[in-house]
Structures are given as structure tokens and as C-alpha cells.
Amino acid sequence: MKNYKMIITYDGTRYYGWEHQPTTDMTIQGKLESVLSAMTGTEVEVIGAGRTDAGVHAKGMVANAHMETKMKEEEICDYMNRYLPEDICVQEVRVASDRFHSRYNAQGKTYCYTCYVGDKKPVFNRKYVNIIDGKLDVDAMKRAADILTGEHDFASFCGNPKMKKSTVREIYSIDVSLKGSFLNLTYHGSGFLQYMVRILSGTLLEVGQGKRTPESMYELLEERNRSLAGATAPAKGLCLLKVDYSKELDRPDAVQ
């Protein structure tokens, strides 16, 4: 039995997130497992690098699954794309180390939150952007982002009030970039709490709208109180771009 690493792209609009749900089969994990179980004739568990929320998209989600099959990597990829829904695509399948675990071995993730701040309706992008009325003070947002960058306790930006594990995370960078009518907030960090990127984005947008100052980020970090931070930005604007791993674990001959 080999351990296969997969890179997956999906439009999350129709789905209730990555993880299994007890009341619906409309999850990304569920669709992948259904196809792979049919392919191998046995039940296959697909492990994802994270649990994206309902409505969140991905260009570079990473998953792994241990399977027994005579099919080559390219054949597995072709089979999956033949039977998966049109809004899920497997970009790559290849054998990894037996000890490779897509979630536990992840060393960093990159997310992008996209907003539209133009005068006309973004007809063809409407499912993938948060539409903002009025202009934004991008420079103020950049100053606030600089304050949030680094290792902090992000309890104020966590959507789970009963979080038992540490809420300390490190954000390596937050890039605030306005290109034409599209504002991209790109986050690269060691890992993110539940709804963290969406709450960060909602808070930065309030800074851009003049509803709070960049310097107020210091208080949010210190107080560790979710009620003080901004609104949770809509899921449709968020996309997982990339997951970072050690190259050693990608090798099938890595030391066990």
C-alpha cells in the first residue's frame, strides 16, 4: 500500500466545506473519497491539509491517501478527474513518503482574500469576490497589516470561543495589493485558526473604511477578545493558494 499525495483545486460555492458533514454528502473530502473508494474497491480515507469553510475555494489544497492500486500516478489523476464533479480538479497525484501527512507535516499556508471595489458589478467574478461599496484607504490597511504580522496570540481573530489549544500563530507576511478594481489580501503564515483569515480580512476592511485605526490592532492583539475585532468577511472571497512542506517528506524513499 502506497501513500499518495494530491494537489487539488476546487470551487467551494456548492459545498459545505472540506470536512465530512453528518447531514450532507456535499463536501470536498466526501467527493474525493467516493471516487477513490470506487476506483480501488475498498474504503479510502482522504486526509486534507486543512478544513476550509463552506463556500471557501482552493487552488492548491493538498491531501494524501493510502491506497492499494496497480494504476500509475497519472492514471489515478485521470480517473479522479473523469468522475469528480466539474468544480473539483486534481492537479497532480504522486507517491510520497509513507509518513507524509498532509495536515501534520504542513509548515505554512498561503491564503488570498479578494475584494472588488469598482463602480460596475463584477458579473463573471461575483462568486469569488467580496463586493465593497466605496473606496478604501489601502495605505491604512497596509499599516494595520504590518502590526498584525509576526507571532502573536490571535484569540481576537478566532471564530471558536471554546478553543482549547493555543491561539498563538505566526504570520510571515500580509500583502495588501490593489490592482485595478480588485483588492487582494494575501496571508502567508505557519497556520491559521478557525475563520482567522476571514476575521483578519473583515477587520482590515474596517480599517480601510475608516471605521477603526491601524493602531487599534495593538489593542485587539492584547485583549484577545473576539467581540472587539471586525466582522467575519464572506467566505466566497477566500481561496487557499498553497501549502508548504519539507521537500524530504515528498520523496517516497524518505527515511521512515
- Rounded Cα distance, 78 and 72, in Å: 10
pTM, two decimals, is 0.93
pLDDT tens for residues 125-183? 999 999 999 899 999 999 999 999 999 999 999 998 777 789 999 999 999 999 999 99
Which of 53, 139, 175, 250 does the annotation list as catalytic? 53
Q: How many helices (H) and strands (E) does the chain have?
A: 6, 10
- Asked about 175 being catalytic, the answer comes back as no
For 84, half-sphere exposure in the C-beta direction (CA atoms, 13 angstrom radius) is 24
pLDDT tops 80 at residue 57: yes
- Rounded Cα distance, 124 and 111, in Å: 21
Answer for the pair 111, 193: CB distance below 8 angstroms, yes or no: no
